[in-house]
Amino acid sequence: MKKASILFLSALLIALYLSSCNSDNSSDNKENDTALLTGKWVPQKTGTIAENGNESLQEIPNPGKCDSGLLEYSSNGTFSNLRYEFQDNKCVSYNQKGTWSVKDKIITAIYDDGSTTLEILELNQSTLKLKQTLKTGTTLLVFISVYNRK
């Protein structure tokens, strides 16, 4: 009987140990993604994903030699997306601001006139690659943006 109790207790301890090692690490992933996202990102490439899954990326065109823009995620949960367009022979800036959060590789950005979700395809110390899927009518449009850390 004593031997059976020891075996049962050992099995229970092993099960508890394994379940604690196998726990959900989503909060760790969220904290890691948040830490890696926080900072300034410069847009490098943009493109699409075709229905067959092939990516088509190209350098961001800059006909007026405008500044390339800046995407900044702050640790306080705010973001700023500054971009420039060349219009009427001058560089015109647009700055979209709001709040952001990340969970399971999905960034949710909320701004004054709406919200959007972005899927993180790649995130490390130097590169951020995002996918945005938009539906217009019956058509799905999938856009890719690649940023380098500033």
Residue at 17 is within a domain? no
- Domain with 33, as residue range(s), is 26-149
Residue 20 lies in a domain: no
Averaged pLDDT of the chain: 83
Assess if residue 16 is contained within a domain.
Answer: no
14 within domain boundaries = no
Q: Contacts for 46-55 with beta carbons within 8 Å, 24 or more apart? A: 46/143, 46/144, 46/145, 46/146, 47/143, 47/144, 48/141, 48/142, 48/143, 48/144, 49/131, 49/142, 49/144, 55/144
Is residue 81 included in any domain, yes or no?
yes
> How many domains does the structure of the chain reveal?
1
Q: Which residues contact 115 (CB under 8 A, 6 or more apart)?
A: 98, 108, 109
Residue 11 lies in a domain: no
Identify which has the larger pLDDT, 19 or 120: 120
First to last CA, the chain: 66
CA–CA gap between residue 108 and residue 97 (Å, rounded): 13
Task: Let me know if residue 125 belongs to a domain.
Answer: yes
144 within domain boundaries: yes
pLDDT in tens, 30-54: 678 899 999 999 999 999 988 888 8
- Mean pLDDT across 102-119: 96
**Global confidence as pTM:** 0.76
Pairing state of beta strands 114-123 and 127-136? antiparallel
Residue 27 pLDDT: 52
What pLDDT shows up at residue 139? 86
Q: What residues form DSSP beta bridges with 107?
A: 102, 118
pLDDT confidence tier of residue 13, bands split at 50, 70 and 90: very low
Predicted confidence (pLDDT) at residue 29 exceeds the cutoff of 80: no
CATH number of the domain at 96, please.
2.40.128.280
